Amino acid sequence: MCKGYHIIPRIRHQHLDHDKCMTMLASAGIYLVLDVNSPLSNHHLNRYEPWTSYNLFYFENVFKIVQQFSFYNNTLGFLAGNEVINDPISASVSAPYIKAIIRDIKHYVSINSPRPIPVGYSAADDLNYRIPLAKYLECADNNLMESVDFYGVNSYQWCGDQTFYSSGYNILVNDYKGYSKPVFFSEYGCNEVLPRNFDEVPILYTNDMIDVFNGGLVYEFTQEANNYGLVEILPNGDVKLLRDFLQLKHKFESIPELDYNFIVEAMKENAKEIQMRIKQSQSTVPKCEVSYQNLDISRGVPDTIVDIMIDTGVNVERGKFVHLNKSEMQTKNIFYQPNGEVFNTVYEIDVVVDFEIDDENSNDKQRSHKSGTYNPQDVNDDPPNGKEKESLQSIDPNPETHKESPSSEPDQDDTNEHDEEKPNVIVETFHKVTDSVKNFWASIFT
């Protein structure tokens, strides 16, 4: 089964019941970065006439999605837009409206969500707008909520047999070096040269990039007409794993252990830059410039039209984790390898995260088994195949802390279910090397 750092799906429709799906994803350690827009009418910003779509109908749909998914704690962040600016016309009118949507969603989250959830933007990596749009969405003057919390880059410049330098990744890293917000690839995986070998994957997680980019999302999971899929969904619901899936899986499994000392030094350097910025402008967010190349921001950010909607909230069913029985954690569909042979795998969700489910019908909570593992099946069901799953720590806002090899299995020699829980070595190592800078970070913001 897929792990949380491999796939972060986008689910958009607020009128559907996502409770079971989100519970399955959470159990498997999978987080979501959620695009609040869709191609439906009144569900997206008109890039050429944004003033016509910046209206109450649009925000009612957006806020319903935000409200519903805020209550799933594996919702990692919201995308206020995706490639809205991609040509000179959209660049001449849309930038201030993107900033307004970011502001309004962040304001809604601050008032109505049970926890802070970051709001960002996913940008087409067009050289005409790469630096100016990133800087414009980063900046803020009087209202800090106009600044993105994170920035996604849709990059397809690594095509075929490339290197860090021939692909231009070195320039990409240099362009975003010093950016004050987290940056990651919101899409990557060029298919202009086939088959895709995903040689950029190990580079993305090495010292060449990890001090600037926070990983990325491969485009895309299911095969569509544009031929970017990792798997093909057959008419009967069965799944054919494509060659790209197996190659990507191999690349993820072969990523070397991160250089944590390098990460700590990069964190120290970033902290110094933030401290200097605070001294210079009394803010961690850069002040906006008068103009940005290739963007027209002369109209200014439009005033909000949703103050009342934000204050009162929208009426939508809150998302919640639910109890799932054994059959709901399994599938009867078959997985096939690219050559047509049946893929030898376990046809059930691999539960890797321990968490609780609120039971609205009683004062009790469904808690873990004695082994410390959350079991989404009924409490009377035996674990599948008689195996106890190894427990991991509760969902963490940082999915990087849960990285494991997809092929990891419980130790077959462990026969005592009361044995002490095995530590997450990656998490412990990262915490160990970052302890030395915690006080330094704290001193910056006090």
Sign (positive or negative) of CA dihedral 196, 199, 202, 205: negative
269 is catalytic: no
User: DSSP code of 352?
Assistant: -
Tell me whether strands 32-35 and 183-188 are parallel, antiparallel or unpaired: unpaired
Q: For residues 59 and 306, is the Cβ–Cβ distance under 8 A?
A: yes
* Bridge partner residues of 33 (DSSP): 77
- Asked if the peptide bond before residue 220 counts as cis, ω within 30 degrees of 0, the response is yes
Q: For residues 119 and 77, is the Cβ–Cβ distance under 8 A?
A: yes
At residue 214, the 3 state secondary structure works out as: strand
For the record, the structure tokens of 230 come out as: 């990792």
Give the integer Cα–Cα distance in Å for 335 and 341. 9
H or E stretch covering 101: helix 95-112
Q: Name the phi and psi angles at 272, rounded to 5.
A: -65, -40
Q: 302: Cβ–Cβ under 8 A, 6 or more apart, which residues?
A: 51, 54, 96, 97, 100
Q: For residues 129 and 42, is the Cβ–Cβ distance under 8 A?
A: no
User: Which one of the listed residues 83, 328, 348, 404 is annotated catalytic?
Assistant: 83
Q: 409: Cβ–Cβ under 8 A, 6 or more apart, which residues?
A: none
49 is catalytic: no
CA atoms within 13 A on the CB side of 359: 10
User: Which one of the listed residues 49, 138, 146, 187 is annotated catalytic?
Assistant: 187
Cα Rg for the chain, rounded, in angstroms? 23
| Residues with a known catalytic role | 83, 187
